[in-house]
Amino acid sequence: MKEKSCAFSGHRLLGDDFDRQLLERVTEGLMKRGVLTFYCGMAKGFDLAAAETVLKFRDRYGAKLVACIPYEGQPERFSSSDRERYLNILEYCDEKVVFSKNYNRCCMHARDRYMAENCGVLVCYLRKKSGGTFYTVNYARTLGVKIIEV
């Protein structure tokens, strides 16, 4: 049910202004209001922080984490610490949706569109007017999705 679902989108590099506690307050607040399905794009940076946040509160509220994986080898170029975080999160995801076996020029947008089309609210960390997060936020707006910037 779209109105009870949330997606996350944000930059891979987090600035000094990134506030994990704000992300936690927003995420838990959504859960308290009955939003219990969370879609995460599994990119390093904001996505992994968002997934960890969902896992922190999941059992308390009965929430579900869905890993939206653009292609099977997504973590191959991550640092060893980010790859370890990714694999740990993936182990605890309730569902995994993979958009392509191999990287191609469309797999990231396919993931981003899927998340926007399946949520009622998009929590984002958006600091620049270009790139995947900018695309996802604008696409979600055209669909009438509520946007919460953190």
| pLDDT per residue as tens digits for the range 65-124 | 999 999 999 999 999 999 999 999 999 999 999 999 999 999 999 999 999 999 999 999
On whether the CB atoms of residues 132 and 107 are closer than 8 A, the answer is: no
Q: How confident is the model at residue 1 (pLDDT cuts 50, 70, 90)?
A: confident
> Rounded distance, CA 74 to CA 47, Å?
13
The sheet with strand 121-125 has its strands ordered as 95-98, 64-69, 37-40, 5-10, 121-125, 146-149
- Residue at 119: amino acid letter: C
Hey, which residues does 148 pair with through a beta bridge? 123
Give me the domains of the chain, ranges plus CATH numbers.
2-149 (3.40.50.450)
pTM of full prediction above 0.85:
yes
Q: How confident is the model at residue 10 (pLDDT cuts 50, 70, 90)?
A: very high
